[in-house]
Amino acid sequence: MDPIDAHAAHLRYLNRRPSSVKQREWMLRNLAAHTGKPLLELELLDLRGYLGRPGLSASARATGVSHLRGFYKWAVEEELIVKDPSARLSRPKLPRALPRPMPTPLAGHALNRAPEPIRSWLMLAAYAGLRACEIAQLRGTDFQIDGTPPIILIRESKGGDPSVVPIGDPLVVTACYLSEIDGWCFPKGKGGKGNADGHITPNQVQKRANRYLHKLGIRETLHQLRHLFGTSVYKATGHDLRATQELMRHHSPNSTAGYTEIDPGESARALDLLPVLQ
């Protein structure tokens, strides 16, 4: 069997997310095309040359290192190769992620004019912090509006884990509307822009929402409404990072910190309260 196909079958056996498997398959085939050599014959210099090609961001190189380490570790374990050429690959240091919330007036402007289903997508991102991959997979039955509190069931969140999102008052009307839909809330269109299950793809959610925002002259993206959600929750909870982490569904508070913007004015007022040293 082709080593890429065999490795992909191994990842599916481990129950890795289909999107993650496809991403690794794509990168490995791209690597083979770039070098013109069989993957099992590549050396460290080949891998460095591929990851160091012009135009590749530090984030893309870091992701590439992870994919290559995973593939070649598997190849060694399967005794397809003796030496792991990725063992000495250095992972680039990534800059600290900064919060990029969409300004509240722009978010309101976009929501007031958005047609369906884009309005629902914007509402879910702004008031529940949902990612595009979570929005795309929603069914009407995922909105459990009779509970206390009402919730949204996320069957597969980032990383493949299920999660639960509370529904706040601003989202109730949208949640009730979506809960009445039989089957997928956002089925694939006539052009076949969906996956095998029949719902729209996360990429289409992002592209269509961002196209709409940019037509309004808004440079920010759908994902920046998730940043706005995180920042708003952080302020509403009295700067409770732990509570914000739970609502953002992050495994680490470090991730949450990258979504929560601090008002410089609040920091300055805190400095005014420092004791005078004499």
pTM, to two decimals = 0.71
Residue range of the domain that includes 56: 3-77
Do residues 109 and 192 share a domain? yes
18 Cβ contact list (under 8 Å, min separation 6): 12
Report the number of distinct structural domains present in the chain: 2
Q: Tell whether 275 is covered by a domain.
A: no
Q: Tell whether 126 is covered by a domain.
A: yes
Six token digits for residue 14: 């481990």
Whether the pLDDT of residue 199 is over 80: the answer is: yes
Provide the CATH number for the domain around residue 149.
1.10.443.10
What percent of the residues of the chain are helix, what percent strand, and what percent coil, each to the nearest 5?
A: 55, 5, 40
| CA distances (Å), origin 75, targets 5, 13, 30, 40 | 12, 16, 18, 8
The mean predicted confidence, pLDDT, of the chain is: 86
Long-range pairs, 230-239, Cβ under 8 A, ≥24:
230/99, 230/101, 230/129, 230/256, 230/259, 230/260, 231/99, 231/101, 231/259, 231/260, 231/261, 232/101, 233/129, 233/260, 234/260, 235/263
Q: Tell whether 191 is covered by a domain.
A: yes
Q: Read off the pLDDT of residues 225-276 as tens digits, 9 standing for 90 and up.
A: 999 988 888 888 888 878 888 888 777 666 666 656 555 555 555 556 556 5
In this prediction, residue 43 carries a pLDDT of 95
| CA distances (Å), origin 154, targets 104, 133, 227, 234, 241 | 26, 10, 19, 22, 22
Q: Read off the pLDDT of residues 201-215 as tens digits, 9 standing for 90 and up.
A: 998 999 999 999 999
Average pLDDT rounded to a whole number, residues 32-52: 95
Q: Tell whether 180 is covered by a domain.
A: yes
Do residues 147 and 225 share a domain? yes
Do residues 110 and 52 share a domain? no
Percent of the chain at pLDDT > 70 equals: 86
